[in-house]
Amino acid sequence: MEIKKTIKHIIKRIQEGMLKDMWLQTKWIYSYARRYWLAMIFYTLMGLSGTILSLISSLISRDLVDMITGHQTSELVKTFCMMISFTIGNQIISQLTGYISNWISIKVDNSIKAEIYEKMLTTDWEAISNYHTGDLLTRWNSDASAISSGILNWIPNLIIYSFKFIMALGIVIINDPTFAIFSLIGMPVTALMSKTLMKRMVHNNKRSAALGAKMSGFNQESFSNIQTIKAFDLIKLYSQRLKQLQIEYLNMRLEFNRMSMVTSFIMSLVGMAVSYSCYGWGIYRVFSGNISYGTMTLFISLSGQLTGALNSLISLVPSAIGLTTSAGRIMDIINMKQEDYSEKEKVAKLNNRYKERGFSIDLKNICYHYANGTPVFDNVSIEAHPHEIVALVGPSGEGKTTMLRLILALLHPQKGDAFIYGKDTISSAITISPSTRQLFSYVPQGNTMFSGTIAQNLRNVMPDASDEDIIKALQLACAWNFVSKLPDGINSEIKERGGGFSEGQAQRLSIARAILRRSPFLLLDEATSALDVATERMVLKNLMQDTYPRTCIVTTHRPTVLNMCQRVYEIHDKQCILLDDDKINQLIDQF
């Protein structure tokens, strides 16, 4: 009945695609593993050497016991020295293997994480934005580490433990085949217990990974928004939420540990039964004159090694399941649509050709809806040219930020054309794509400054910028008036998320960073919302007076600067309408 139930379960899992998924995940892991075959061979050879020395030490220990019990003192000192030498050699190899494997594991871990990190960054933005940051961090950190460790250890350990089991069993059979029966008697029980534990392991791995991601996301959001938590006096609420997550995690771990505890207890009893059986049988064989005392101690030692090797081999099964689970979680991300940067060189050449004259942008008949089907734009068109400031206005949530994301190729329209071209040279037109982002500077909503100095933040976009270049960009962004008063000037420290500066100051620093890049296009998404009207107008005026042929597109809720713009589009009800002067003046008067 149990066999029939097991067969049905296996068939059900196959129909659900479990084996197919595990095979694909294994192939993906192999694509990484084959890069490090030299490291795996070295690790395997070191492990095999240690196993051989350990077995030789057991044989020497047998001879030593026989010499003592048989009063064969002539070879006693020599044999004793040999045993010490092999034991020390085994310890040296063990420590050396641990050190080198740790070094290799870190290198592999760094290599895999670096590659996965880059792939995550080049994954389609709209797709990856569906994942919580905490979940992404867990997949990148914990799952990637599990894979790097598994790549180095799993196959070598399979070889090492199998070799150890076969060699130990061979020595037992050669010396006394009857002992092999006692050594192997507990294997069926061990296998059965491991099978039960393995099923729980699969379920536990998935639950643990999901809950770990949930806790990571909670912690990341809490620490990022600590000011808001304090301001609304939500400390008690968030502390309770953390405790609830911890209780959920504790219950999950205890549930698995209870199963592990029962299984371990049963397996320990089996191990004890095997050991005592070996003792009893060994004593009987010694008293009956079939084996020596040394051979008995050898068998007892090898029975422990056989059981240990078997348990290690069985433990590789849930280890493999955990490995494929981690691989599947990472594959979920990196198998998403990757951004296409194939035209990067073409765009760079185009920039060199037209950077002195500037670029125009043209979006024609664009239709876009979110992945859930919500429509945003229906057949809209906009254009912008060098030395122009083009404004996008309209109610919140109507699509102003979405329009900028389409321009940056973070989102992709379902219909329509979006392209850029050198000023007055439509024949040079190239479709907007991830490759064209090198032509853009972008200041999004909110505080986007990184921890570090002001100069370091600005040089992120222009590494070879001089101090004079940085100061000029700060002046254009109306930021130099407060930066110059800081004790360390442009070398003043910025805390995480722009800490230490007001929202208005952080916005001006962000604008200065975008200006310093000297990109043909500058996109400002409510980037002056924290500035007073006078400062906002001054920033835009500086951009207009700058001789660099920049095309500037801004989104704003404040129409007081609209009379400085060459073109104003109102985004509303899935449409993008070019406003005339009368409508612009009406918006200004109504503000």
Of 307, 334, 361, the one marking the end of a domain is 334
Residue 1 — very low, low, confident or very high, per pLDDT cuts 50/70/90? very low
Mean pLDDT within 544-554? 85
Judge whether 469 lies within some domain. yes
Judge whether 339 lies within some domain. no
More confident of the two residues 224 and 129: 129
Spatial separation of the C-alpha atoms in residues 23 and 18, rounded to whole Å: 9
Judge whether 40 lies within some domain. yes
Q: What is the pLDDT of residue 115?
A: 82
Q: What is the pLDDT of residue 434?
A: 92
Structure tokens at 432: 């907007």
Residues 306 and 350 both lie in one domain: no
Spatial separation of the C-alpha atoms in residues 104 and 153, rounded to whole Å: 11
Residue 103 — very low, low, confident or very high, per pLDDT cuts 50/70/90? confident
Judge whether 125 lies within some domain. yes
Count of structural domains within the chain: 2
Bridge partners, residue 494, by sequence: 452
Where residue 399 sits, what CATH number does that domain have?
Answer: 3.40.50.300
Say whether pLDDT at 530 is over 70: yes
Residues 469 and 569 both lie in one domain: yes
Residues 328 and 395 both lie in one domain: no
Residues 363 and 317 both lie in one domain: no
- Per-residue pLDDT tens over the stretch 104-152: 778 778 888 888 888 888 888 888 888 877 778 888 888 888 887 777 7
Judge whether 354 lies within some domain. yes
Q: What is the pLDDT of residue 467?
A: 92
Q: Which residue segment(s) compose the domain that 359 sits in?
A: 345-590
Most confident of 28-32, 259-263, 561-565: 561-565
Residues 262 and 372 both lie in one domain: no
Judge whether 62 lies within some domain. yes
Q: What is the pLDDT of residue 90?
A: 73
* Least confident piece of the model among 154-163, 245-254, 431-440: 245-254
Residues 269 and 386 both lie in one domain: no
Residues 440 and 321 both lie in one domain: no
CA angle 586, 588, 591 (to 5 degrees): 110
Tell me what the pLDDT averaged over the chain comes to: 80
Q: What is the pLDDT of residue 174?
A: 81
Residue 366 — very low, low, confident or very high, per pLDDT cuts 50/70/90? very high
Percentage of residues of the chain with pLDDT beyond 70? 86
Distant-in-sequence contacts of 37-43, Cβ < 8 A, 24+ apart: 39/104, 39/108, 39/152, 40/151, 40/152, 40/155, 40/156, 42/100, 42/104, 43/97, 43/100, 43/101, 43/104, 43/152, 43/153, 43/156
Of 334, 368, 398, the one marking the end of a domain is 334
CB 553 within 8 A of CB 384: yes
Judge whether 4 lies within some domain. no
Q: Residue 566 has what DSSP assignment?
A: S
Residue 283 — very low, low, confident or very high, per pLDDT cuts 50/70/90? confident
Q: What is the pLDDT of residue 556?
A: 84
Judge whether 393 lies within some domain. yes
Residues 330 and 349 both lie in one domain: no
Where residue 159 sits, what CATH number does that domain have?
Answer: 1.20.1560.10
Say whether pLDDT at 356 is over 80: yes
Mean pLDDT within 553-569? 84
Helix 144-175 with 37-69: angle, nearest 10 deg: 30
- Does the predicted model carry a pTM greater than 0.85? no
Spatial separation of the C-alpha atoms in residues 359 and 441, rounded to whole Å: 13
Residues 405 and 496 both lie in one domain: yes
Q: What is the pLDDT of residue 271?
A: 64
Say whether pLDDT at 186 is over 60: no
Spatial separation of the C-alpha atoms in residues 367 and 348, rounded to whole Å: 28
Structure tokens at 137: 């961090």
- Per-residue pLDDT tens over the stretch 2-57: 445 444 544 454 444 556 776 777 777 777 777 778 878 887 888 888 788 778 87
Q: What is the pLDDT of residue 138?
A: 80
Residues 33 and 179 both lie in one domain: yes
SS3 at position 225? coil
Q: Which of 115, 56, 125, 67 is nearest to 89 (CA)?
A: 56
Of 303, 334, 365, the one marking the end of a domain is 334
Residues 364 and 276 both lie in one domain: no
Q: What is the pLDDT of residue 228?
A: 67
Say whether pLDDT at 316 is over 80: no
Spatial separation of the C-alpha atoms in residues 70 and 80, rounded to whole Å: 15
Which residue bears the tokens 């809806």?
369
Q: What is the pLDDT of residue 42?
A: 81
Mean pLDDT within 283-299? 76
Say whether pLDDT at 355 is over 80: yes
Residues 438 and 492 both lie in one domain: yes
